[in-house]
Structures are given as C-alpha cells and as structure tokens.
A and B are shown apart, each in its own frame.
Chain A
C-alpha cells in the first residue's frame, strides 16, 4: 500500500498496463500512503515539537525514562494487538498483571528461586488467558468482551484476596535488575520488550499461525470454510495476551521490587488505546506489532511531555482521548478511500 507507480511487482504485460493505469489515482494513493504512515509521522512530529518546547525532552536520560515507563504498556499492548487482530478484545490484562505479580511475590516468599518466580508469573498470566480463550470459544460466548470483563473482576478480586489488599514487597534480585540500568543507559525492561517483540514478530510474520490470525480477523466465516482451525487460533491469541500480561507483571515487579493487587490499574484501556493510536484497525485483520509499539510509545511521550511542560495531569486523559478519536477516524477514512480505489478499478475494467 506504500507507493503506486511501482511496476517491479507486476506479472506479465497486462499487469504492466494495469499498474500504469493505476497512476491515474495518485491523490487517493497518496492519501492511503499518508494514512498508513500516519502514526509514525505524528510520533516524529511530536518528538520534534517537544524537543523545542522543553530542553529536557530530548536528553538521553529522559528518553530512557520514557522507554522504561512504557515497557509494561508495550509488552501487554503487543498481546492485546493480536487479540484485536482477530476482532476481539482482552479487558482482563490489567487485573491479570496484578494477579500474576501477587502470585509471583507469594511464591518468592515461599522460597522459590528467581527462575521459578518468573515462570509462575508468566504461567499465571497464560492461565488467565487460556480461561478467556476457552470460555469465549467453547463456551460459545457472543463476544470476548463478556468473558474478559468477568476475568477482569475475578483476577482483581483474587489478587486482592491473596495479598490481603496490600502490596507484597520483595522480589528476587534478578527480577529487580529489570528496573535498573543495564546497557547504554537503558533499563533491562527495554530489552525484554525488544525480545518479546522479536519473538512475536517472527511468529506473526513467518509462521502459518500468524497468517491464520490475519485470516480469522479478516473474515472468520471464510476462515472456517477454508479449513483454518479458527477455534484454536482464537484460544491461542488470548493465551499469548495472557503471557504478555505475565511478562508485564515481571517487569513491573522488577521496577518496584514488589507484587501488588493494585498493579495494572486501567492497563486494559491503555493497551487498547495504544493499539488503536498506533494505527491497527479495530475491525480486525489489519495492523502489525509496530503499530502496538508506536502507540505505546506515543502514549508514553504524551504523558512525559505534558509532565515536563507542567500541564495538569487531568489534561493528559483528555489529550489521549482526543488522539484515540483521531486514530479511529483515520481508520474509517482509510476504509473509505480503499472503497473508492475499488470503484475506480471496476470502472476502468468495463
């Protein structure tokens, strides 16, 4: 969808002629290209403007800070992104982070070594994700909103119950290291984010499973008719979203040296916002991991900048809400422009 006049990918002479014809719609093509590049452009503009507005913004320390603060949103948003790709939504991620961190802290106090604590947290996240996916698919629920709303409540209640409503301080040193500076002035958590992104990227782009996610999100009924195991694809994305929440819990526990039932408050909304702001389609089947990451960083940048500029905290919420509306509207506009391209192609054929 990047540039139109490109004939390098065409097949045969007919295609050559056809792609030459396509140049007749440069306006539409330009609009589409701008829309798909939109989030990156906005992020770059934001950074340029902010570096003029605040002398502190473009310092290494501040940038490292932004990345550290957005590490949790980034990881969990990547999982949320896979769910949204399949036309779903995972409201339980915030509570899932809280529960995983509490269970991790309890297992540490029960004497588990660091590796086991990490496995327990990630496993706890995966278990909640599996419950979401299995109930949604095999419980024949009309929409994942319902089951993930239920597990949002259950996981939160369980976390509060287990922790007796308080944070549980103390985490293994190797988990705490994630919150400390590691290499090149960056905290360890940033490398966890990069690692998760790399693994998910390979899975989504090069594996059959990734192709199936896009097919299921693009058209669930057709996916079924084409013999794609839709049920298991759906379960898998909720499990992965849960795993991402578990990893988010590890990062958060490392940064605060504690597990807390209050972790991840409203994280579900932040991650959904990140995916949408980043440019993935809420209608499913469109977008990639980069969208989730860019959206998460954009939220981090906006919050950080408004703090640096001494803007009221309440105002942050308004700004992020406005950005969400802009993002969704540009998705609608993109669909409209694609429809126009289709109509023009049909017109040219007959």
Chain B
C-alpha cells in the first residue's frame, strides 16, 4: 500500500524536500536542547543525523514525530507548514518513527504489533474502537510484508516477548514500513545488535529508502553512515554545525565535527 502512495506523490515532489524543518528551537527549562536547527530530507534519500550524546538528535526527531512540540520554528511536509501535536498526528501525516526503545508490545504477536493503533477493521460506519478486527487480512498482509523484507521469524503466532533482540528490531523497523508514506525516522536502530543482525536491519533501512521514503537515520556508527547515508547532518549542543556527503575519506572530518575538535 505504501508503494502506491509513494508513486502518487512522487510526480509532484521530485526535487522538493518532503520534510523540511526550519529554525527549530526547543527549550527544556534552562537547557536549550535545539537552537535554530534546519534540515531537509527528500524522497528516496537517507540523511544521517549525527552528534554526541545530548547534541539534540533525539529532541529534534521527537519534535518531528510529535512526542515534543517545537518552541519556535516550523515543520513543512511537501512544502506545506504542518502542525504536529501528537504522535498520532505524525503517523497520520505519513511520518513513521522507529524508537530507540522499539515501542513494541511484548504481549502481542508480530502481526498485532504491525497494526497496533491502525488495525484493519470494519464496518466503517462504526466508531473506530467498536469495529471488528479483520484478523485474516492482517495476518495475510503481515506474511507478505515479512516475505518482501526477507525477515524470517520463528513463529508469527508467538508473542514478541519470546523473540531475540535482532528479531524485535526487525519487527519494529518492518512495522514502520507498513504505513510509512513520507518520512521514516530511525533512532539508533543497530545500537544493541550483533553484526549479522545489524546487517539485516541496515538492509531494511535501504528497503525503506527504495520504497520512496525520506529516511532520517540516527546512529553513532560511522561505517553505517558512509555506507547508507546520502548526506550527513551533524548537531552539537543543540546547533547544526555541519552538513556534508559522507565518504570513506571525510570520515575523520565528520568525527571532528561531532566532538567539536
């Protein structure tokens, strides 16, 4: 379903950034977490968002995904200023987030996790909560989705609590592909994973881009940035301190931007 949506939109927005953040500022008490930060992401592009701990990466992405609200600045989707007041708003606008803590429901199955909050159900004239679940449709779509992404899980009817870290990470990333129509934000998706599991997740990130999504990838891993990101944006102490196309040769330059040396 996301592929269809991507095609419909891509004609009109070839060069225009699908997501633009302009002059974003956010203050927590006396701490200025974000200070006049602007970034842009286009369709089919992966932007690496880099920075040391406390640089403002998570704050910026939480503002985009509706967890926090900006104190000043604007978020533009396809060029139009958009108010994002809640995570539900963000999801409705086509922005998916893979949180660092995964936000998975341990007591639900992978399929139930995929459709949490957006269950396929009917009839449409009933209020959302009172609709009847279309379990078979959701199961079928789950199977297709996992096959497309080449994710293999031991069982689809077992709860997520029983699955390994890599499998859980794959489920969380795969969930974002179900409904992503414009932007996907991944907050350190490989932080706790081994080599092979990381590889699987990176392939998923590439798949998200290939679907036509604009991808924001937060990571500390320079190898991953060089391999996947089309551009890298560096934050330090709430400010944007640099932006460049990451290659094997300027890795050192990136690192010095991050640490400010």
User: Which A positions have Cβ atoms within 8 angstroms of B?
Assistant: 1, 6, 9-12, 14-15, 18-19, 21-22, 206-212, 214-215, 217-219, 221-229, 232-233, 236, 285-286, 338, 341-342, 345-346, 348-350
The reply to whether A215 and B117 form a contact with Cβ atoms under 8 Å apart is: yes
Check if B161 is an interface residue, CB within 8 A of chain A.
yes
Check if B40 is an interface residue, CB within 8 A of chain A.
no
Question: In the complex, how many residues of chain B place their beta carbon closer than 8 angstroms to a beta carbon of chain A?
Answer: 49
**Cβ contacts A to B, 27 pairs, < 8 Å:** A1-B159, A9-B156, A9-B157, A10-B156, A11-B152, A11-B156, A15-B155, A18-B152, A208-B128, A208-B133, A210-B133, A211-B119, A222-B105, A225-B87, A225-B97, A225-B103, A226-B91, A226-B117, A226-B118, A285-B105, A285-B106, A338-B161, A341-B162, A342-B161, A346-B165, A348-B164, A350-B197
- What is the bound-complex CA distance between A223 and B108, given in angstroms? 12
The 4 nearest A-B residue pairs measured at CB: A14-B152, A227-B88, A226-B117, A346-B164
Contacts of B165 on A, CB cut-off 8 Å?
346
Check if B4 is an interface residue, CB within 8 A of chain A.
no
Check if B29 is an interface residue, CB within 8 A of chain A.
no
With both beta carbons as reference points, the residue of chain A lying nearest to B146 in the complex is identified as A11
Check if B121 is an interface residue, CB within 8 A of chain A.
yes
What 1/0 flags go to B80-115 for Cβ under 8 Å of A?
A: 000000111001100001010001111110001000
Known: A338-B161, A349-B197. A227 touches B105 (CB 8 A): no
Q: How far is the CB of B75 from chain A (nearest CB, A)?
A: 17
Contacts of B156 on A, CB cut-off 8 Å?
9-11, 15
Q: How far is the CB of A21 from chain B (nearest CB, A)?
A: 8
- What is the bound-complex CA distance between A279 and B132, given in angstroms? 27
User: Which B positions have Cβ atoms within 8 angstroms of A?
Assistant: 65, 67, 86-88, 91-92, 97, 99, 103-108, 112, 116-119, 121, 128-133, 143, 146-147, 152-159, 161-167, 194-197
- What is the bound-complex CA distance between A350 and B198, given in angstroms? 11
The reply to whether A206 and B133 form a contact with Cβ atoms under 8 Å apart is: yes
- What is the bound-complex CA distance between A157 and B114, given in angstroms? 47
Extra A-B contacts (12), CB below 8 Å, given A209-B129, A225-B103, A349-B166: A15-B156, A18-B153, A208-B121, A208-B133, A215-B105, A222-B116, A227-B92, A227-B117, A341-B162, A342-B162, A349-B167, A349-B196
Contact of A219 among B92, B106, B121, B155 (CB under 8 A): B106
Contact of A208 among B86, B104, B131, B195 (CB under 8 A): B131
Contacts of B107 on A, CB cut-off 8 Å?
214, 217-218, 285-286
With both beta carbons as reference points, the residue of chain A lying nearest to B86 in the complex is identified as A227
The reply to whether B166 and A228 form a contact with Cβ atoms under 8 Å apart is: no
Known: A11-B147, A14-B152, A345-B154. A232 touches B194 (CB 8 A): no
- What is the bound-complex CA distance between A229 and B119, given in angstroms? 13
Known: A208-B130, A338-B162. A228 touches B153 (CB 8 A): no
Known: A208-B130, A225-B67, A226-B117. A219 touches B103 (CB 8 A): yes
The reply to whether A223 and B117 form a contact with Cβ atoms under 8 Å apart is: yes
- What is the bound-complex CA distance between A88 and B261, given in angstroms? 51
- What is the bound-complex CA distance between A209 and B130, given in angstroms? 6
Question: Which of A12, A225, A285, A346 has the most CB atoms of chain B within a 10 A radius of its CB?
Answer: A225
The reply to whether B117 and A207 form a contact with Cβ atoms under 8 Å apart is: no
Contacts of B97 on A, CB cut-off 8 Å?
225
- What is the bound-complex CA distance between A285 and B196, given in angstroms? 32
The reply to whether A227 and B91 form a contact with Cβ atoms under 8 Å apart is: yes
Known: A1-B159, A208-B133, A222-B104. A227 touches B153 (CB 8 A): no
Contacts of A1 on B, CB cut-off 8 Å?
158-159
Known: A209-B129, A218-B108. A226 touches B152 (CB 8 A): no
The reply to whether B166 and A207 form a contact with Cβ atoms under 8 Å apart is: no
Contacts of B104 on A, CB cut-off 8 Å?
219, 222
- What is the bound-complex CA distance between A81 and B261, given in angstroms? 58
Q: How far is the CB of B118 from chain A (nearest CB, A)?
A: 7
- What is the bound-complex CA distance between A1 and B159, given in angstroms? 8
The reply to whether A208 and B92 form a contact with Cβ atoms under 8 Å apart is: no
Q: How far is the CB of B189 from chain A (nearest CB, A)?
A: 16
The reply to whether B103 and A222 form a contact with Cβ atoms under 8 Å apart is: yes
Contacts of A222 on B, CB cut-off 8 Å?
103-105, 116
With both beta carbons as reference points, the residue of chain A lying nearest to B129 in the complex is identified as A209
Contact of A211 among B65, B112, B155, B163 (CB under 8 A): B112
With both beta carbons as reference points, the residue of chain A lying nearest to B195 in the complex is identified as A350
With both beta carbons as reference points, the residue of chain B lying nearest to A281 in the complex is identified as B107
